[in-house]
Amino acid sequence: MQQLLFAIFTMVGGVLACVVYFFGTNFLLDRIFPSKGLTGAQASKNLRITNAIRPWLFMAPALIALSVYLVYPVFESVRLAFHDRTGQQFVGFSNFAWMINDGEFRQSIFNNFLWLLVVPALATFFGLIVAALTDRIWWGNIAKTLIFMPMAISFVGAAVIWKFVYDYRAEGSEQIGILNAIVVAMGGSPEAWMTIPFWNNFFLMVILIWIQTGFAMVILSAALRGIPEETIEAAVIDGANGFQIFFKIMVPQIWGTIAVVWTTITILVLKVFDIVLAMTNGQWQTQVLANLMFDWMFRGGGDFGRGAAIAVVIMILVIPIMIWNIRNATKEMEGH
């Protein structure tokens, strides 16, 4: 109960602090550089000054937060990557040499590669199909709401839900896991799905696909609605069928948006952590880079050097995709 009250107090206090900050800074700025009651050049000068300063006042909390929680950790992680487990003694590239020779790190790279191949492709594909189909049925908005709902669930919350899907009980016991209940009902034997090497990675991927399909659907649905009707009508007149219209007329026109959705999910996959931690904790060959970084950084006494080195690898993998994504999104905005 105490934790709940503290959480509520924190949220309410945070909102009130933001309100006080924005109204307070706005009030002080207008007091320091007043424009009301003045005429001529002085009023115009004060108005220009306040218009120049006001956006920075509104952005200041976000810029400070980014500096403290993003910019500083990046430079500190790079520094720690070249130091020992305590972060005090310089060891050069020793941590990176360890990574190359470490079997668990190679397993993590392989698993992340699997995630990259499967999750962005299937989440984008399902999102595109759902976006196209729900625009054609009267209850499409209801379907979109249901499909988008998992986006409101945290990754850990989603993992807990899917634990009940994959839950395993010994043969002869009542199966509360949906998947094993279906298998047993069809005459099969229950399986501990999370302990099956290689395939358990795909069972974990299903969770992220389930979450991200709603995101892809919303973005791609908006893109599909932006397609000029004239192009579709011309294709119909030319005798194109539904599949030809969709894949040869509609998809090429929204390819830029598809690429943005794909790369956004790709960045998320490279950082996937919560699902693996909650479901398997990296056991049974399901380890991924982010969870391995967490293990080395905070468990077993902690090794800041190796944990930071893995973080640097993740950052190196993410940055090029993020830059390309931003450039592509900018081109899309300029095109519209």
Cβ count within 10 A of residue 297? 19
Q: What is the DSSP string of 6-25?
A: HHHHHHHHHHHHHHHHHHHH
Contacts of 190 (CB under 8 A, 6+ apart): 168, 169, 170, 171, 175, 177, 180, 183, 184
Cβ atoms of residues 283 and 69 within 8 Å: no
Q: Give me the average pLDDT of each 10-residue run along the chain (336 residues).
A: 81 86 85 72 78 85 84 86 84 86 88 90 90 77 82 85 85 79 83 87 91 88 81 78 78 82 85 86 86 82 83 85 76 63
Q: Which fold has domain 95-335?
A: MetI-like fold (1.10.3720)
pTM of this structure: 0.77
Domains of the chain by residue range:
2-81, 95-335
User: Given this model, what pLDDT does residue 322 score?
Assistant: 78
User: What phi, psi does 90 have (nearest 5°)?
Assistant: -70, 130
Residues 26, 19: Cα–Cα separation, whole Å: 11
